Chain A
Amino acid sequence: SAVISQKPSRDICQRGTSLTIQCQVDSQVTMMFWYRQQPGQSLTLIATANQGSEATYESGFVIDKFPISRPNLTFSTLTVSNMSPEDSSIYLCSVLLDSNQPQHFGDGTRLSIL
């Protein structure tokens, strides 16, 4: 497997501000994804981070609200923009080392918006 480092691990932010979450993997990976897990809920896919091109967003998620970068095969960022209390959630980076394999997860970023 791979070591997936996600930071920050948690943050408390003010309404209207933005926060960028980083995901660093210790080896090159095929795919990187971003998920959200709201309190007591399961995981919802936000987007697929594509290396060198725009991310692919799922229904209900847009680039203006969740801009994503993936400059290389080991690193990605997710920004949560213009935050509101409804954005309070855990945000998880997930990677796929190779096709037809399980995905692995970072430890997540626990975000609270006041």
Chain B
Amino acid sequence: GQNIDQPTEMTATEGAIVQINCTYQTSGFNGLFWYQQHAGEAPTFLSYNVLDGLEEKGRFSSFLSRSKGYSYLLLKELQMKDSASYLCAVRPPPGGNTPLVFGKGTRLSVIA
């Protein structure tokens, strides 16, 4: 089975940097994904990692360590519009078509 943990809530200041952590325990692994979900809207894809290391996409970066079962999402130059829930998801075995399993999400509030 899958067990995905992330903090429930975080607060950060506009213009700052925030790191949202995600740990997972799975019987196998085919990639880790990050999604953003604004209140009342569908999740939108942000980033994913299959291999260890950092993936950078503008203000957003995601890091993965498979040996530690650990990932983080880094948001730089925070803006008010970044206030949203951030969902960590894992693709379990057996392969690349397996549906994602989601963590409970981290609700981020960006304050002035």
Contacts and interface: CB of A to CB of B under 8 A. Distances in A.
Task: Indicate whether A and B interact.
Answer: yes
Given A41-B104, A106-B42, A30 B97 contact: yes
Contacts of B31: 100
A99 B50 CA distance: 13
B55 to A, nearest CB: 12
A43 B102 contact: yes
Interface residues of A, number: 22
Nearest to A102: B45
Which of the four size classes fits the interface of chain B? 20 to 34
A31 B104 CA distance: 23
Contact of A45 (B87, B96, B101): B101
Given A42-B105, A43-B43, A108-B42, A102 B48 contact: yes
B97 A33 contact: no
Residue of A92, A100, A106 most packed against chain B (CB within 10 A): A100
Q: Which DSSP category, helix, strand, loop or mixed, fits chain A's interface?
A: strand
B53 interface: no
Interface of A: 30-31, 33, 41-45, 48, 92, 94, 96, 99-108
Given A43-B87, A43-B102, A99 B45 contact: no
Nearest to A101: B96
B42 A102 contact: no
Given A42-B87, A102-B33, A31 B42 contact: no
Interface of B: 30-31, 33, 41-45, 48, 50, 87, 95-97, 99-105
* Top 5 closest pairs, chain A to chain B, by CB: A99-B96, A100-B96, A105-B42, A102-B45, A43-B102
8 contacts: A33-B99, A42-B87, A43-B102, A92-B43, A96-B97, A99-B97, A101-B96, A104-B45
Given A42-B104, A42-B105, A31 B41 contact: no
B43 A105 contact: yes
Contacts of B42: 92, 105-108
A33 B89 CA distance: 15
Nearest to A46: B99
